[in-house]
Chains A and B, each alone.
Chain A
Amino acid sequence: MVKFRPKLFFIVMAVVGLLIFFHFLGILNPVEKAIVFALKPFTNSLYSAGSNIGRFYQNREDRDFLLNQVNILEQEKNQLLKENIQLKFLEEENKELRQQLNFLEEHKFKYVLANVVSQGVFSGIEKNEKMIIIDKGSSQGVFPGLPLVNSEGVIIGKVFEVKDGISKAYLIIDERCKLAATIQGEEETLGTTEGDFGLTIRMGFIPQTKNILSGDVVVTSGLENNIPKGLILGRVIQVKKENNDVWQSAVIEPVVDLDNIEIVSVIIP
């Protein structure tokens, strides 16, 4: 005979239904706030621990890869010398960019520092979702549409939904994160960016008359409310231009590693 306890099941579902009802009435708000506040130390430290393991794993892969590269480079010495000179030039340019990027202090932006407590766990049924949850919400002045930047002022995402003590943000490599962008040095908006398969960024709707080159730095154009101009998105790695198309597009590579973000700043207007 098959055993089943329907009475207990229905009682439990009734309790859960009641809790859901109280949540939508707002009765559970203080409890939820208290829970988020109390759990902050645990979520922050455990996310940090998991992130360090991820970084260690990534470093091991990088090391094996580099060892392989060294073996190849030993056979191509002249090519290495030439590449080294080019790399030195890029290093100088990168250093200059970083000096420009004492951003938060120089530009006197108001900001809220936040810890990342989770990354992409609630991806559910949405494809290629690249999102993070931070431990600041509406109580700290965060609202949807605000940009997230790292310590160097590079934009890494945009806030999409907020609760009292936490917020959900999509990273710039997610297709849901769209930004008005331009090339560094240009005044007007050149196009819009959106994430591409959770790996790179695609910039579209660029007029055919604009000249974009590989290596150009893409920044926010300031067209959107609450997103300042000049936040670096990434560097152009490929330009797609067909003569009979109205627009051209570009593939942009982020300049930061978006896999192990722990601390972000939310720029408040």
Chain B
Amino acid sequence: MHYKIFLNIFFIVSLFALQISFVSGLPDFFTNLNVVLVFMLFALVMIGLRSSLIILMGVGLLLDVYSFSFFGVYTITLVMVLFFTNFLLVNFFTNKSFYAFLVLILISTFFFELFQGFFLYFFSILKNVSVDLFVFEKLFWLGLLFKIFLNIFLTFILFYFTNFLSQKLKPAFLIRDKR
């Protein structure tokens, strides 16, 4: 029991510090990486919804403590994306294959940026701050493309690494039986 609590705290703090400090110090292009989302996907597959939820909520709350936007934006966005990704995983991507992972990270990155963008836009309006609707900004879509690319790349690497250590994932290429 204590071991589980310690492990959860370790993952929460590590993920948070990695995302907010380490990734932000990297060269510009690499700051588009979202290690929290990639971890979320693997956690959903490896340890299930409830355990992932605890870690994601912890990370979300820490991000909100350090953020100067409306408190709760990151927690709400992460929780919504987690449930949505779990819904897709359980109903449409049950084989846990390599392709399933790549599609899921693409979808979850897209919806994370979209939800976050709408929440931040909505709260900017409430604060009477004039902001253009981000969906009409070219920079938003370009940034989203970079984020999807980097997250897919990290998922690719982690998939092979996890597959090497665990049997929970299907191999990358399904071998057809010779009959």
Residue ranges of A at the interface with B (Cβ–Cβ < 8 Å): 2-5, 8-9, 12-13, 15-17, 19-20, 23-24, 32, 35-36, 39, 42-44, 46-54, 57-58, 117-122, 124-128, 133, 161, 163, 166, 168, 259-260
Contacts and interface: CB of A to CB of B under 8 A. Distances in A.
A16 B64 CA distance: 11
A12 B139 contact: no
B25 A53 contact: yes
B24 A23 contact: no
B53 A48 contact: no
User: SS class of chain B's interface: helix, strand, loop or mixed?
Assistant: helix
Interface of B: 13, 16-28, 31, 49-50, 53, 57, 61-62, 64-69, 71-72, 75-76, 79, 83, 87, 90-91, 116-117, 120-121, 124, 131, 134, 137, 139-140
B57 A16 contact: yes
Nearest 7 A/B pairs, CB to CB: A50-B25, A47-B21, A51-B25, A20-B72, A46-B21, A125-B134, A46-B22
A120 B152 CA distance: 22
B51 to A, nearest CB: 13
Nearest to A57: B27
A54 B79 contact: no
Contact of A50 (B16, B22, B69): B22
A127 B137 contact: yes
B82 to A, nearest CB: 9
Contacts of A117: 20-21, 66
Contacts of A128: 139
Nearest to A22: B71
Given A8-B49, A125-B140, A47 B22 contact: yes
A35 B62 contact: yes
Contacts of A259: 28
Contact of A16 (B19, B66, B79, B91): B79
A16 to B, nearest CB: 5
A64 to B, nearest CB: 14
B25 A24 contact: no
A143 to B, nearest CB: 14
Contacts of A126: 131
A51 B26 CA distance: 6
